[in-house]
Structures are given as C-alpha cells and as structure tokens.
Amino acid sequence: MARVKPFRGIRYNLEKIDGDLAQVTTPPYDQINAVGLEAYHQKHEHSYIRLILARKTERDDARENRYTRAHRTLQHWLRDGVLVQDEGEAFYVYRQTFDVLGQTYTRTGLVSAVHYEDPEKGLILRHEKTLPKHVDDRLSLLRETHTQFESIFLLYDDPEKTVARQVEATLARPADLEVTDDVGTRHQLWRLADSAAVDAIRRFFDDRVLLIADGHHRYQTTGLFHQETGQDPDGWVLATLYAVDDPGIVILPTHRVVKNVANFDAATLWSALEKDFTIEPWSGDSESMVAEMRARADRGHVLGVYEPSRGNAILTLRGADRLGTSEHSLEWMKLDVAILHRLILEKVLGISMEAVAREGNLEYFRWPKDAVAVVDRGDAQAVFFLNATRPTQVRDLATRGELMPQKSTDFYPKLLSGLVAFPLRPVTVESAR
C-alpha cells in the first residue's frame, strides 16, 4: 500500500537569519505572482523564494537559468550553514492555527516522505487535472537540485485517531520552530524522532490509501523524475498528511474571472443564463452575496455572477434535468464547478475544457473583491462565484477515479514553504566556484 517514511530534513539555521523565519519563509510557488516574486526577493537575502522561484533573466539559456541558480544558491547556503541537515531521520509534526470566515481553526499534519505510486494502482488518489507547463517548471527545478523544497498535501482516513495518539507527546513540548505569516496564520513545527512512535506511524500507513488534496503538479513531477532516472530515491515526494476528519480541514471556493471572450455581449449572456438558472439580482456587494450563497448551499445548486451592466446576481439551477448527459458520473455533473464549466463557460461563452487548459480565458481568485476589481478596471468581462466543494465530494470522486476540473478545491491555508526540505540524495556540498 502507501509507503510513508521519516527523513533527514534540511532546515534554516536560525542563527543565520536572526531567529526570524517570517523574513525568509514564503507561500507555495504557485501562489506567488510577479509582484510577490520581486517583493520576496527584496525582503531577505536568504529568502526561500531564491530556491523555489528564482528570478528569470533575458540571458537565460540551457546552461544558465533560474533552475541552475537555485542549485547554486542551495549549495552556497549549505556551505555557509544557512541551511543545515538534521542528524537523523524523523517525521515532523506541523500545526497551523488560522482565522477564516469568522472562525478560528487548528489543523495538525505529519510531514513525511511518501513514495510515488502509479495512479492505476489506486494507492494515492488524484482529484484534479494538471497543466503541462506547471509540471515542466517543477521538473526542471527537481532535475537541478534533487531536492523537494515544498510539501504536497495528502488526506487519509483515521477514525481511530491512531496518528493523533502517536504525536500527543511531541505536541506537549514547545515547538522547535514557530512563525506567523503575512496573513496571520501561525505555523509550528516539531521534530518527531521517537523510534516507537515512528514505527507505529509507518505501520499505520502500510494499509492506507492516500488522497492528494493539493500539489497534483508536484506529485506528477516526482513520478516523471523517477521515471527519468530509474533510481528509487528519486521516487519520494515531500508530503504533509492530514486525517480527513481533522476539524481544521477547510476548503474555500475558487472564483472564475472571465476574460478575452471573443464577441462577448452582456445582454446575450444574461439571456442565455435565464434558460438554465433563475436569476436573483443582489443589491449588496460580492462578499455579502457569496455569504448568502454559502447559506443556501444545502438547498440546491447556487452560483453567483458579477457583470458590470447588471451587477451582482445569484443563479440557482432550475432543476436536475438541466444537467443533461455527459461521459462523467451524475455525482461529477452535480459539482457546482462542473455546472459552471458545462452550462455557462462552455455552453454560453464557448470556453471549452481545452481552452481552460490553455489558460487564456480564465483567472482564479480566492476572495470575491479581488475578482471584481479585475473586471471593474476593465481587464476582464465577468466573474462567476462558487460555493466550496465538500471534502466528501473530493474523496468520493477520487475513489471513483474521476478527475475534477482544475482549481476545483482550495484547501486553506496553504502550507508554508521554508520550514523543512527533503533532499532526495545524500547531501554533498560542492566547492565554491
């Protein structure tokens, strides 16, 4: 079944960064835009951004590029003691405490090395499609550095709380690392090296199936790299594992901003929407409308739309008969994100799944006000708002082997980058050049 093991992590030497992890840690690479990229580079000379997302230059070529620079930076920091490798193998207990939608949550995961498994084996389940360009980018970084810098996010079933019991003693002592990030999320990390607990955890996962919550591109990258090299050490991925019933598992919706639609006509859009949805104008702002959508989530399929000529409106599917037929299961077709893609983006606006993959017509936003701002400044044509996908939907569809549209889930908050890295090969420090 799934193979899970401890590892010798690479971590920041706190003495080299004045004990302040907030100056060097970052969000995951795919959450950083061009402005953020430059800001993190400017923030600190030892920012983790220099490893996961080094700058590009106009002179880049096959021999000198952002990936070779990341390799040199890694070697330089290891040589100078900015990064140090732990003496022995361990799991790492990772806790996040955060506020969202008016509530405070805590979730606790286990940072581990997990072996890549072919999807056909059904041992590690996927739920979302991937985009080739993101896989190519991460693969180039892995080829140069042989290091897993960022963790993927996995879920597992543990109704007996076996793992929770094994980490209790570790959580009872002060955290080894602690940092509060830019949005106020508190991150704590403990090293768990107790042999009895480590062995019990490894045995527990021997007969477990895992589900990828976040990190599909990085997981696929590991499989491709392992296939390229044929070496077993290259088949392991850095992963943080969470029990699916952890009370801190929060999924937020990802709203779609529509842009660059040829011959877009607002009146035609609203007329077409009336065929499959009842339209309820909303006089409040987008945040209040999304809150109302969330309150109605159990009463039917509810979407939202913002288009400047008529403002905000709540869309309610007129009936299950509007779903039509598909090669997918009924459970897949009932996903709000699938309804949006099939009945609006494709049927009304002509944005096919292939066009979605080309990334020319959609932008994705977590917060409604940010999505609306793009339209209001004239850079896009409309916004469509969604309710969150439920964890049980993710699990059930993954178990069936059905992949959801890209950006169907947003597990919140993201895992912080820079707390611990996983070297695939024995760490060797090259001489300074």
Confidence (pLDDT) at 433: 56
Cis peptide bond prior to 253, omega within 30° of 0: no
Contact present, 167 and 243 (Cβ < 8 Å): no
Alpha-carbon distance of 118 to 116, in angstroms, equals 7
For the chain, which ranges sit under pLDDT 70?
Answer: 431-433
The reported pTM is: 0.89
**Considering the chain, what percentage of its residues have pLDDT values greater than 90?**
84
Determine the pLDDT at residue 319: 87
The structural domains of the chain, ordered by start, are 4-250+413-423 (no CATH), 254-387 (3.30.1760)
> How far is Cα of residue 284 from the mean position of the Cα atoms in its chain?
31
Q: What integer pLDDT is reported at residue 432 of this predicted model?
A: 61
DSSP 55: P
Phi, psi of 37, deg, nearest 5: -55, -50
Q: Which of 123, 146, 343, 153 is nearest to 244 (CA)?
A: 153
User: Which two structure tokens, joined as six digits, stand for 408?
Assistant: 């169907």
Q: How are beta strands 152-156 and 236-243 bridged, if at all?
A: parallel
